[in-house]
């Protein structure tokens, strides 16, 4: 990990890995979407709308995972003073927020025909909504504080405190009587979901994960470039 | 310990003598409570049903809006810088200030709120459960508010940001506070909700001083 503390080394690695990551992402999406839209059967109750699941569930997984990545990066920044950890946390936030929004939006598109309402205030939906607000608050901190170093220190606190919500989202369906389906993939005793539906879902999950990896690397690269530009501007002003 | 008590005493007397403390917060609380029936309509049955929720939300907002007082002044006049160098661990300073905020603002509000329930047609039987739940919940509210106050202490326009950051953290308090203070709506859940409310308060008692102190330090460097 310390090896990557040097931004130049990190950029070299990122540039080398990125094309492969993009290709894997596209392949996974091709296979996953084919499985989800063509080979997976209709649900006996939900009919075709069950296919929304293949975009909804991975988006929700990723929304949680990205927040965890953010919190982990913040913890690494606090403990090891790793210079790229703050950049990783900062750039993960907008991507995670989009995944979170995607899961809320697709969930609500599914909820209208299935539950008869766009939105229901139950534990899973509410805690997911709170996750969205936490993402927004985290990004607002970065936007509000001009000095990057100080913003990083404050943002770490916000990310770590907000992490409390992640287990609440995950277990909300077990702790409360929720309208939302209980966990059917990552649970004690193995998945309860039918195999023909499970594999496209898992492939889509992997595809989303690689998509995040690719987008994250790109935006870390962009952030490093932005900081260099900032340094150059400051140096120019100093020269004048 | 004596030093911590002295800190709390100092903050309390400051909040009493400076004005704009609990009086303003109470005024704000009243205004929100009065606005609600105007916005929703004067239907007595409807008001009685939403009364606990209305009072809780007014409490959250009043606590939140008084939160910037926790660290702001001491940050601006440099007292906080001195406190980082004092013999008291800075985490305990942050805790003392949050406790002072609770004693001076949140607790009086939590006591006054159920009594003002008659404005929104609160059931007389709900007054005691509401007071108990708000008393416990307000500890968590002050502690969480102090995190928000610490995170935005150096920003000139931090007020809105505090709300965006802290209100999501208030959601659990609101949920369990409501089910603890409304025995009619959730029978049999009162005790369990009170216990969870206490647990939330205890967790924030641990998290809040650490988080606030870390955030404050980044501004004091």
Q: Looking at the complex, does the CB of residue A165 fall below 8 Å from at least one CB of chain B?
A: yes
Q: Looking at the complex, does the CB of residue A158 fall below 8 Å from at least one CB of chain B?
A: yes
**Over 80: is that where the pLDDT of A41 sits?**
no
List, for residues A157-194, the tens digit of each pLDDT value. Answer: 999 999 988 888 887 777 776 667 777 766 666 667 77
**Mean pLDDT over the full length of chain A:** 86
**Residue ranges per domain, chain B?**
2-220
How large is the average pLDDT for residues A2-17? Answer: 81
Residue B153 Cα distances to A79, A125, A224, B11, angstroms: 23, 32, 28, 17
The pLDDT of residue B205: 94
Q: Helix-strand-coil percent breakdown of chain B, rounded to 5? A: 85, 0, 15
Q: Looking at the complex, does the CB of residue B165 fall below 8 Å from at least one CB of chain A?
A: yes
How large is the average pLDDT for residues A95-112? Answer: 91
CA distance to partner chain B, nearest, from residue A129 (Å): 9
The pLDDT of residue A145: 86
Backbone φ and ψ for A43, nearest 5 degrees, come out as: -85, 145
How large is the average pLDDT for residues A64-83? Answer: 91
The pLDDT of residue A119: 81
The pLDDT of residue B68: 82
Q: Looking at the complex, does the CB of residue B63 fall below 8 Å from at least one CB of chain A?
A: no
**Over 90: is that where the pLDDT of A138 sits?**
yes
Among chain A residues, the shortest Cα distance to B214 is held by A157
Percent of chain A with pLDDT over 90: 39
The pLDDT of residue A120: 79
Angle between helices B159-181 and A148-162 (to 10 degrees): 10
Who's near B94: CB < 8 A, 6+ residues apart? B146, B150, B208, B209, B212, B213, B216
pLDDT-derived band at A21, boundaries 50, 70, 90: very high
List, for residues B75-121, the tens digit of each pLDDT value. Answer: 888 888 888 888 888 999 999 999 999 998 899 999 888 888 888 87
List, for residues A49-70, the tens digit of each pLDDT value. Answer: 788 888 899 999 999 999 999 9
The pLDDT of residue B192: 85
| Interface predicted TM-score (ipTM) | 0.81
User: To probe the interface with A, which of B71, B143, B170, B215 has the most A CB atoms within 10 Å?
Assistant: B215
* List of chain B residues with pLDDT < 50: none
The pLDDT of residue A155: 92
Chains A & B: contacts with CB separation below 8 Å? 61
SS (H, E, C) chain A: CHHHHCHHHHHHHHHHHHHHHHHHHHHHHHHHHHHHHHHCCCECCCEHHHHHHHHHHHHHHHHHHHHHHHHHHHHHHHHHCCHHHHHHHHHHHHHHHHHHHHHHHHHHHHHHHHHCCCCCCCHHHHHHHHHHHHHHHHHHHHHHCCCHHHHHHHHHHHHHHHCCHHHHHHHHHHHCCCCCCCCCCCCCCCCCCCHHHHHHHHHHHHHHHHHHHHHHHHHHHHHHHHHHHHHHHHHHHHHC
How large is the average pLDDT for residues A17-21? Answer: 91
Backbone φ and ψ for A124, nearest 5 degrees, come out as: -65, -45
Task: Count CB-CB contacts under 10 A for residue B208.
Answer: 25
Residue in B167, B172, B214 closest to A157 by CB: B214
pTM, whole model, 2 decimals? Answer: 0.86
How large is the average pLDDT for residues A75-84? Answer: 88
Give chain A's radius of gyration (CA, Å). 20
Among chain A residues, the shortest Cα distance to B213 is held by A157
The pLDDT of residue B193: 86
């Amino acid at each position: 990990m310390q090896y990557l503390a040097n931004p130049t080394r990190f950029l070299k690695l990122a540039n080398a890995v990125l094309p492969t990551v993009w290709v894997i992402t596209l392949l996974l999406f091709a296979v996953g979407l084919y499985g989800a839209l063509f080979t997976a059967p209709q649900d006996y109750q939900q009919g075709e709308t069950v296919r929304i699941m293949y975009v909804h569930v991975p988006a929700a997984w990723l929304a949680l995972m990205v927040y965890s990545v953010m919190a982990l990066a913040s913890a690494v920044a606090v403990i090891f003073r790793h210079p790229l950890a703050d950049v990783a946390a900062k750039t993960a936030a907008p991507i995670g927020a989009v995944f979170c929004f995607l899961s809320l939006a697709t969930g609500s598109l599914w909820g209208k025909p299935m539950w008869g309402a766009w939105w229901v205030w139950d534990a899973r939906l509410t805690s997911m909504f709170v996750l969205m607000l936490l993402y927004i608050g985290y990004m607002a901190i970065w936007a509000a504080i001009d000095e990057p170093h100080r913003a990083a220190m404050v943002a770490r606190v916000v990310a770590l405190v907000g992490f409390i919500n992640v287990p609440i989202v995950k277990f909300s369906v077990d702790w409360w009587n929720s309208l939302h389906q209980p966990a059917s993939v990552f649970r004690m005793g193995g998945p309860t979901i039918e195999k023909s539906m499970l594999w496209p879902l898992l492939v889509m999950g992997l595809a989303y994960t690689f998509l995040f990896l690719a987008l994250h690397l790109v935006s870390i690269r962009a952030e490093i470039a932005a900081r260099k530009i900032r340094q150059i501007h400051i140096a120019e002003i100093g020269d004048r | 310990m004596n030093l911590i008590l002295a800190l709390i005493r100092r903050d309390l007397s400051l909040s009493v003598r400076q004005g704009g403390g609990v009086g303003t917060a109470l005024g704000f609380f009243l205004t929100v409570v009065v606005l609600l029936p105007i916005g929703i309509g004067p239907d007595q049955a409807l008001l009685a049903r939403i009364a606990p929720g209305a009072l809780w939300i007014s409490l959250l907002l009043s606590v939140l809006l008084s939160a910037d007082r926790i660290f702001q002044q001491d940050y601006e006049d440099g007292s906080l810088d001195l406190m980082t160098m004092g013999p008291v661990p800075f985490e305990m300073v942050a805790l003392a200030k949050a406790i002072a905020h609770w004693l001076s603002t949140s607790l009086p509000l939590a006591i006054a709120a159920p009594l003002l329930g008659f404005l929104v047609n609160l059931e007389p039987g709900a007054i005691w459960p509401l007071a108990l739940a708000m008393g416990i919940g307000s500890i968590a509210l002050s502690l969480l508010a102090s995190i928000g106050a610490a995170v935005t202490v150096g920003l000139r326009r931090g007020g809105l940001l505090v709300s965006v950051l802290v209100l999501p953290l208030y959601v659990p308090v609101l949920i369990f506070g409501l089910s603890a203070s409304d025995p009619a709506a959730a029978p049999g859940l009162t005790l369990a909700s009170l216990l969870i409310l206490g647990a939330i308060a205890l967790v924030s008692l641990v998290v809040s001083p650490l988080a606030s102190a870390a955030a404050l330090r980044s501004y004091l460097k």
